Amino acid sequence: MAKSEHTFTTNDNLNIVYYEHATENPKANVIIVHGMAEHAQRYDDFAVFLNKNGFNVYAYDQRGHGKTAGSVEKQGFFAEKDGWNKVVGDLKKTIETVQADSPGLPVFLLGHSMGTFVSRTYIADYEDTVKGVILSGTTGSAGLLGKIGIFLTNIIMLFKKKNSPSPLMDSLSFGDFNKAFKPNRTKFDWLSRDEAQVDKYVDDPYCGAIFSVGFYNDMMKGLEYVNKPATAQKVRKDLPMYLIAGDNDPVSKNGKQVKDVFEMYKNTGISDISMKLYEDARHEILNETNKDEVYKDVLNWLESHL
């Protein structure tokens, strides 16, 4: 087992940093698509676990995140134009890179939070070459609030640059998430019951930044797109899907919206789709106090779909 760092160049000349966790005689490749305001190396422990069980793991820093951003100061911005499609294109290029590295091996996607929106867009919009998709901590449409958010960011961008940090959108998006966990120890108690994991997030300069107004505009459009039934209908019907989340995750209204997403895909005729909600777990179930249980469940699902 070995971890190595690599880069590839996107169509708009951005260098994407990715990490390969290789194992001997791999059964398949797993590509990890991380969430907002975090980065690929937060999944190293999970990658080691999958390595020990015969899976290669590739995790990349999405644009505006981690080493791909270039510096702490440059976090939180996708692109001046067509940001969401570029982010999804980065995943497409990652998949192509992995397939070129190990032809013939099946590829699974594991997206977390915002990474699920990217993964869900990919499986709807591109000729799908993945063996299965795991969605961790996804959510449904923001409804009227989402439409207001898109309108508001469009107005803000008339007066500010797209890459300007937006404390207002940060507060509107995340301000209520900690309320259920008072008295609060940190701003990010909603991520996990494991205080050590929360502290690691708080102390990481590549986590928890205030992102740009352009980022919020792009992401909210992406979120609304993936939660349209017409988008879900484009996903191939024999694609295995596994939805996992905490039932105390404020991002999905304590799992309610995970159930909504599950039903939406099931109603399109997808034949192999399952879901598991973990009791009392919060948003980052791969960093939760019961992470060993989650790891094993993910492994069992992967092995049953080889």
The per-residue b/e assignment along 86-122, b for 16 or more CB within 10 angstroms, e otherwise, is: bbbbbbbbbbebbbeebeeebbbbbbbbbbbbbbbbb
Q: For 76-110, what is each residue's pLDDT tens digit?
A: 999 999 999 999 999 999 999 999 999 999 999 99
Q: What average pLDDT does the segment 243-260 reach?
A: 98
Rounded Cα gap, residues 30 and 193, in angstroms: 26
The residues, any chain, with a CB within 8 Å of residue 108's CB and separated by 6 or more, are 28, 29, 30, 31, 130, 131, 132, 133, 134, 302, 305
Which residues sit opposite 230 in a β-bridge? none
Tokens of 146: 């989402």
142, with CB counted inside 10 A (0-12, 13-18, 19+), is middle
- Tokens standing for residue 284: 């980052």
**CA atoms lying within 13 Å on the CB side of residue 196:** 3
Is 35:52 a contact under the CB 8 Å cutoff?
A: no
Domains of the chain: 2-141+223-304 (3.40.50.1820)
Q: What is the pLDDT of residue 127?
A: 74
Query: Residue 80 and residue 163: Cα distance in Å, rounded?
Result: 8
**pLDDT, tens only, 128-187:** 789 999 999 999 998 888 889 999 999 999 999 999 999 999 988 888 899 999 999 999
What pLDDT, in 10s, does the model give residues 210-244? 999 999 999 999 999 999 999 999 999 999 999 99
The Cα angle at residue 293 between residues 291 and 297, in degrees rounded to 5: 115
* Predicted structure pTM score: 0.97
| Position 26, amino acid | P
- Which residues 6+ apart lie within 8 Å of 141 measured at CB? 223, 224, 227
Whether 1 has a pLDDT exceeding 80, the answer reads: no
pLDDT recorded at residue 129:
86
Predicted local distance difference test score (pLDDT) of residue 174: 87
